[in-house]
Structure 1
Amino acid sequence: MTADLIAVVLLLAVTAYACAGGTDYGAGFWDLTAGGTERGRRPRWLIDHAMGPVWEVNNVWLIFVLVVMWTGFPTLFQAVFSAMWLPLALAVVGMVLRGAGFAFRKPTRRLAGRRLFGAVFAVASVVTPFFLGAAVGGIASGRVAPGTTASADAWTNPTSLVFGLVAIATTAFLGAVFLTGDARRFEEPELVGYFRRRALGSLGVLTVLAVVTGFVTHEDSPYVWHGLTHGLGLLFVAVAGAAALATGLLLVRTPGTWLRVAAVGVVASAVLAWGMAQRPYLLPTSLTVADAAGSPATLTWLAFVTLVALVIVVPAVVFLYWLDAHGELEELTEADLRRQGGTTGDGAPPDL
Structure 2
Amino acid sequence: MTADLIAVVLLLAVTAYACAGGTDYGAGFWDLTAGGTERGRRPRRLIDHAMAPVWEVNNVWLIFVLVIMWTGFPVLFQTVFSAMWLPLALAVVGMVLRGAGFALRKPTRRLAGRRLYGAVFAVASLVTPFFLGAAVGGVASERVAPGTEASADVWTSPTSIVFGLAAVATSAFLGAVFLTGDARRFDAPDLIAYFRRRALGGLAVLTVLAVVTGFVTSEDAPYVWHGLTHGLGLFFVVLAGAFALATGWLLLRTPGTWVRVTAVGVVASAVVGWGMAQRPYLLPTSLSVADAAGAPATLTWLAIVTLVALLLVTPAVVLLYWLDSHGELAELTPSELRGGSHSPDDDAAPDS
TM-score (norm 1): 0.96
Amino acid in structure 1 at the alignment position of 2:217: T
Pairing 1:162-181 to 2, within 5 Å after superposition: 162-181=162-181
> Aligned with 1:154: secondary structure?
helix
Q: Unpaired segments of 5 or more residues in structure 1? A: 343-352
Q: 2:166 & 2:242 partners in 1: Cα distance? A: 18
Q: 1:193 & 1:21 partners in 2: Cα distance? A: 24
Tell me if structure 1 keeps the 8 A contact 2:133–2:164.
yes
| 1:346 counterpart residue number | none
Pairing 1:208-223 to 2, within 5 Å after superposition: 208-223=208-223
Q: CA shift at 1:341, angstroms?
A: 9.3
Q: 2:236 & 2:65 partners in 1: Cα distance? A: 21
Amino acid in structure 1 at the alignment position of 2:226: H
Amino acid in structure 2 at the alignment position of 1:219: E
> Aligned with 1:240: secondary structure?
helix
Q: 1:15 & 1:170 partners in 2: Cα distance? A: 12
| 1:146 counterpart residue number | 146
1:326-351 CA-partner distances (Å, limit 9, x unpaired): 00000001112234699xxxxxxxxx
Q: 1:340 to 1:320 in 2, by over 3 A?
A: farther
Cα root mean square deviation, aligned = 1.0
Q: Unpaired segments of 5 or more residues in structure 2? A: 343-352
Q: 1:305 & 1:20 partners in 2: Cα distance? A: 22
| 1:10 counterpart residue number | 10
Amino acid in structure 2 at the alignment position of 1:276: M
Amino acid in structure 1 at the alignment position of 2:126: V
Q: CA shift at 1:117, angstroms?
A: 0.1
| 1:325 counterpart residue number | 325
Q: 1:120 & 1:310 partners in 2: Cα distance? A: 33
| 1:99 counterpart residue number | 99
| 2:270 counterpart residue number | 270
Q: CA shift at 1:255, angstroms?
A: 1.1
Pairing 1:1-352 to 2, within 5 Å after superposition: 1-339=1-339
> Aligned with 2:109: secondary structure?
coil
Amino acid in structure 1 at the alignment position of 2:63: I
Q: 1:80 & 1:232 partners in 2: Cα distance? A: 25
Amino acid in structure 1 at the alignment position of 2:259: L
1:38-84 CA-partner distances (Å, limit 9, x unpaired): 00000000000000000000000000000000000000000000000
Tell me if structure 1 keeps the 8 A contact 2:233–2:273.
yes
1:195-222 CA-partner distances (Å, limit 9, x unpaired): 0000000000000000000000000000
Q: 1:80 & 1:202 partners in 2: Cα distance? A: 30
| 1:345 counterpart residue number | none
> Aligned with 2:254: secondary structure?
coil
Tell me if structure 1 keeps the 8 A contact 2:72–2:302.
yes
> Aligned with 1:282: secondary structure?
strand
